[in-house]
Structure 1
Amino acid sequence: MDAVREAVSPIRSGEEQDVRKTGDGESEPLLGSRTPDSHENAQQLTTRHAFAILVSLQIGSGIFASPAQVDSNVPSPGAALLVWVLGGLLSWAGAASFAELGAALPLNGGSQEYLRYVYGDSVAFLMSWIYIVGVKPCSMAIQSIVIAESIGAVSFTPPVATWILKLIAVSAFVVLVLLNSINTKLTMRLSESFTVFKITTVVLIVIGGLIAIISFYVDPNSSLSGADDWHTKNWFQTRPTFSGGRTVDWTSMGAWERYGHYSAAIYAGLWAYDGWDSANVVASEVVDPGRSLPRAIKAAMAVVLSSYEFVNIAYYILLPWDTMSTSNAVAVAAAKSLFGQSAGIIVTLLVAISCAGSITGNVFTGGRLIVAASQRHYLPAFLTRRGLFFSRKRPETVQDDAASPPTETGIMAIKFDAPIFANVLQLVVTLVYILTGSFGALITFVGMAEWLAYVSTVVGLLILRRREPELHRPYRPTTALPVTFIVVGSLIIARSAIFAPIPSGVLAGLILVGAVVSKIKGDAAPE
């Protein structure tokens, strides 16, 4: 057991472990003990904070942009709603599996730490490499691009020049990183505030759908009754959709092509749910993670799944069905259709705020991931430092003898506890993606990379159950959940590799570079 504890304790050379007293009075290292620079951050996050992080990360641009992608790849509105339920349940299965790992191994770093525990340093390094260089910055670049497009739609006459959108995206991201580089408490306040805005946006859209239903039954000719399709057509009747610049004829489509379209629809829905794993990244800072993480994950997934289903129902009530697959600004179009241009502007601003909340959550969890990777010597050690120290000498009455004058010694310091250097790294890499990437290319790449890590981690969960059945697991879901997650997730990865060869090639290249770097680091390590 000592070897196990040593394997999972993120300790840097020259630093001491936290210790606790055992029942017989002897000391032993804490599982997942922290480095000295993080003591004041130890276990300051509650169930409410973990819930806010999860909801803030999941309700971002996805629910306002993905519905068009889902609708265009299924034959009916009813099928689209089933896809949203399936995506939510699959994400819930993954979140429950991660909750078991987070409760049993309460370590900052999420998948990185679990992969290291199960497979070893090489696999953990590859995961860290992919997430730090690819997944996290790409996700934040996507959110920044959506913010820019939302602001551009309000402030400029379309079409808006690309360089203007890029400038807005860069400016928005820089401001958000600066706000999240002060201290943990401010970040938590921002996260909770953004969560309120996100839920408010969702509630307003759902209320719009309810107003349309009530108005129709009170007066079928009311201007507030939404579009006509929702009460004149069969929700499960097959109709043509618009995907990839062409009209999709579902009546003449073969099974293999249908699989491709349905996979794309599920893929878009899963991207909207993305972020369900992020509470585990800060598990060691959560009070009583064995109870808090599962409770936060269950509550967050229930809220998000319900919100997404009701929002999509509202979309199909407020908009003509043949327009759902032709616009990525579905929320704005729905608000404008019911209440006019002013409502569209308000919803546009709320969408931008929701994306800002997702960036806040990603900066917070991404910074902790980089810190955890640095503590494992995957990245330079200076990235583990939290905050900045602004210091000046101040006079103190320190005397060698009674006759000597006071000397100026001591330091007056103000410390900000956010991982500032890790945030700078995130800033630089994300700006590269903002300036060079597009929405479609980034979302495809992010999904493939994330699901490769997700499936590998949940496979590790089953391996760990068999290898270490005695490991204390405060929370353990039924085996059917991780097995289902692995099977469906593997099919999603296979679909992506077949139907999106360019992002697959980029991901394969990134993994190859990471493997080479890992090999070099291994050869350079002292015996």
Structure 2
Amino acid sequence: MSSQAQERDGIEEEAHNKPSNSETQPLLERRTSPTSINNQPSDNPTKQLTARHAFAVLVTLQIGSGIFASPAQVDSNVPSPGAGLLVWVLGGLLSWAGAASFAELGAAIPLNGGMQAYLAYVYGDTMAFLMAWIYIMAAKPSAMAIQSIVIAESIGSISSNPTAAWLLKLIAALAFVVMVLLNSINTKVTLRLSESFTGIKLLTVFLVVLGGTVAVIAHLVNPNSSLSGGEDWYSKNWFATRSTTSEGHTIDWTSMSTWDRYGHYSAAIYGGLWAYDGWDNANVVASEIRNPGQALPKAIKAAMIVVLGSYELVNIAYYILLPWSAVSSSDAVAVVALGSAFGRWAGVLVSILVAVSCAGSITSNVFTIGRLTVAASEREYLPAILGQRGLPWRQTQAPILSSDPDIDSQMNGIAFQNQDKLSHFDAPIYANLLALSLTLVYIFTGSFRTLLTFVGMAMWVFYVSTVLGLLLLRRREPELHRPYKPSVILPATFVIVGTFIVVRSAIFAPAQAGVLACLLIIGTLISRLRAR
């Protein structure tokens, strides 16, 4: 019997013996049986993280490519710079509540598989399948399309002349094809690429904040200095209402109804939440940290304060370096801001750094969607050919890598079984080809802001469902040992506010909501047919 068949038989036997409230094992998972969760020793020697380590992991995961692009989405959907900064605070606080909720789940239910494992544990197999389906078919490909578009925007912004839309699409597509090819060599290459990109992201954030600081100092020394950025930051009211532009349409805030304002604010919040994305990996930190009851609150609080503060400073720097009317004009706002304030050389430098940062995010997404697709094929959710690894003429029977589908690969704990049997070309080629095809469709048919709203809705449907599951578990299994248990106000607020944002944005953006609804219906039908 092959190793894959033995592994599948073992999984099916375990699934048969587990409690009825978790019908089928989630994907990408080597898990402890739910019946033994509370029997694990509290001094597990595998727990290596301290509060300091957990803080570093959470900060690194959250500061990514979104902060260099999504400010344009936020600014165009709020009436003033001050309102935009408040949206960033709201996004940070909402992410804080979500991180605390996911950390409780990670400490109480130490299962590999992250959000998908919790959905299966609380709701059963259909919900877990839907999460895998939406992430494979929509969320991850759309996210990679966004990152590819930002790469193209960054490259295009170097030129003094506007770049044609079709050329930007072509650059984005070529950039993504190159990244998929690099990530289709083998796992080691992917991991090395991902690790090398982390420091570049942090460096770029630092340079943007430094640029804003230099502009303020230059203005205080000499109000007429060419380094003092735009004039709006010291000559206008930061909370005064002004017209904004979104995808070529002028938004008149003075004549807008309250309901329509909420729609624009929902779109703005998605831009902020995109930049904060990564907080959902607090569950992984929770399962690896020593003394989570005391260390986790400190790590989460410190990490969210640092990330929220960094994002506020970066956005203040954008408003200082640029005329306010220009903040929403480009999806590569960091490049435009530093280039406008300090000259072409600064713009070229930052465009390279932003492009490389986005390439790092693409690497992480290619890694996770590939492994998620392989696992889905092994569970017979998708055609078996998508589970094959390596070159078509040199297939390997290496077992599936254990990985959380939601975590950036540079911070992932990757377990190799029978590593000596791995082929040098062990990447999931067919899974990567599926991701390549889907992402190219999104690149050529969508825009940055359309895709951003679509990704936000797709991900937040499952974020809210997961935290709602936490509240259900508190009532259904009150005896479950919870080393870390935040106030019920945090998960309750997250569910209420998150539900409102999803519903209002779906009404505000019916096209994206319709596509997501169709995918959910198709996924539900496939899951039901598969269960027969």
Pick the TM interval, shorter chain.
0.7 to 0.9
Tell me how far apart the structure 2 counterparts of residues 157 and 90 of structure 1 sit (CA, whole Å). Answer: 40
* Cα shift readout 1:12-52 (whole Å, capped 9, x = no counterpart): 9xx99989xxxxxxxx978999xxxxxxxx99999999877
Distance 1:338 1:187, change over 3 A: same
Aligned partner (choices 331, 352, 357) of residue 354 of structure 1: 357
Q: 1:91 aligns with which of 78, 91, 95?
A: 95
Match of 2:217 among 214, 219, 234: 214
CA distance in 2: counterparts of 1:175 and 1:390, whole angstroms: 22
How do residues 25-64 of structure 1 correspond to structure 2 at under 5 angstroms? 58-64=62-68
Amino acid at match of 2:18: A
Q: Aligned-pair distance for 1:126?
A: 1.3
Aligned: 1:117 with 2:121: yes
Q: Are the structure 2 counterparts of residues 154 and 197 from structure 1 closer, same or farther at C-alpha, using a change threshold of 3 Å?
A: same
Partner of 2:405: none
Separation in 1 of the partners of 2:217 and 2:278? 35
Cα distance, 1:503 vs structure 2: 1.0
Larger mean CA deviation between 215-224 and 454-463 belongs to 215-224
State how 1:450-489 maps to structure 2 within 5 Å: 450-489=459-498
Aligned partners of 1:47 and 1:383: how far apart in 2?
39
Aligned partner of 1:204: which letter?
Answer: L
C-alpha separation in 2, matches of 1:276 and 1:447: 14
Q: Is 2:144 the partner of 1:140?
A: yes
- Superposed CA offset, 1:106-148 (max 9, x none): 3333222111110111121112111111101110111112112
Give the match's secondary structure for 1:325.
Answer: coil
Deviations along 1:143-191, whole A, 9 cap, x unmatched? 11211232234379532362x4344333332333344455655544433
Q: 2:302 & 2:218 partners in 1: Cα distance?
A: 32
Assess, with a 3 A threshold, how the Cα gap between structure 1 residues 47 and 179 changes in structure 2: closer, same or farther: farther
Match of 1:343 in 2: 346
Matching of residues 227-376 of structure 1 within 5 Å: 227-278=230-281, 280=283, 300-374=303-377, 376=379
What amino acid does structure 1 have at the position aligned with 2:507?
A: I
Q: For the Cα contact (< 8 Å) 2:91–2:272, is it kept in 1?
A: yes
Q: Which residue of 2 aligns with 1:37?
A: none
Looking at structure 2, the residues matched to 227 and 156 of structure 1 have their Cα atoms a distance apart, in angstroms, of: 19
Change (3 A) 1:118 1:11: closer
Pairwise CA distance, 1:3: 3.3
Q: What is aligned with 1:495?
A: 504
Counterparts in 2 of 1:58 and 1:160: CA distance versus 1, 3 Å: farther
Q: Per the alignment, in what secondary structure is the counterpart of residue 134 of structure 1?
A: helix
Q: Which amino acid aligns with 1:104?
A: A
Confirm or deny: 8 A CA contact 1:112 1:128 kept in the other structure. yes
Q: Which runs of 5+ in 1 are unaligned?
A: 20-27, 34-41, 393-411
Distance 1:497 1:32 in 2: 43
Counterpart residue type for residue 340 of structure 1: G
The residue that corresponds to 1:3 in the other structure is 18
Q: What TM-score comes out, normalization by structure 2 length?
A: 0.79
Q: 1:516 to 1:313 in 2, by over 3 A?
A: same
Q: CA deviation at 1:346?
A: 1.1
1:271: Cα distance to partner? 2.2
Structure 1 residue aligned with 2:11: none
Q: Is the 8 A contact 1:60 1:358 kept in 2?
A: yes
Deviations, residues 314-371 of structure 1 (Å, cap 9, x unaligned): 1111112232233333212211222111111111111111111211222233334335
SS in 1 for 2:164: coil
- Which letter does structure 1 place at the counterpart of 2:498? G
Q: Shift of the alpha carbon at 1:61?
A: 4.0
State the distance in 1 between where 2:160 and 2:224 align: 35
Match of 2:108 among 98, 104, 107: 104
2:530 is aligned, of 501, 518, 521, to 521
Distance in 1, Cα, partners of 2:248 & 2:296: 43
Letter of the structure 2 residue corresponding to residue 318 of structure 1: L
Q: Which amino acid aligns with 2:144?
A: M
In the aligned structure 1, how far is the partner of 2:439 from the partner of 2:234? 45
Q: CA RMSD in A?
A: 3.9
- What TM-score results when the alignment is normalised by the length of structure 1? 0.80
Q: Which residue of 1 aligns with 2:439?
A: 430
**What secondary structure, in the 3-state scheme, does the structure 1 residue paired with 2:250 have?**
strand
| Residue 420, structure 1, aligned to residue 428, structure 2 | yes
- Structure of higher CA gyration radius: 1
How many residue pairs match? The answer is: 485
Q: Which of residues 163, 187, 207 in structure 2 aligns to 1:204?
A: 207
Inter-partner Cα distance in structure 1 for 2:387 and 2:219: 59
User: Any conservation in 2 of the 1:73–1:241 contact (CA below 8 Å)?
Assistant: yes
In 1, are the aligned partners of 2:200 and 2:356 still within 8 Å (CA)? yes
Identity, % of aligned pairs?
Answer: 65
Unmatched 5+ stretches in structure 2: 1-13, 41-45, 397-419
Asked if structure 2 preserves the Cα contact closer than 8 Å seen for 1:166 and 1:434, the reply is: yes
Residue matched to 2:195: 192
* CA contact 1:371–1:384 (8 Å) conserved in 2: yes
Compute the displacement of 1:373 (Å): 3.8
Q: Partners in 2 of 1:309 and 1:17 — Cα distance?
A: 39
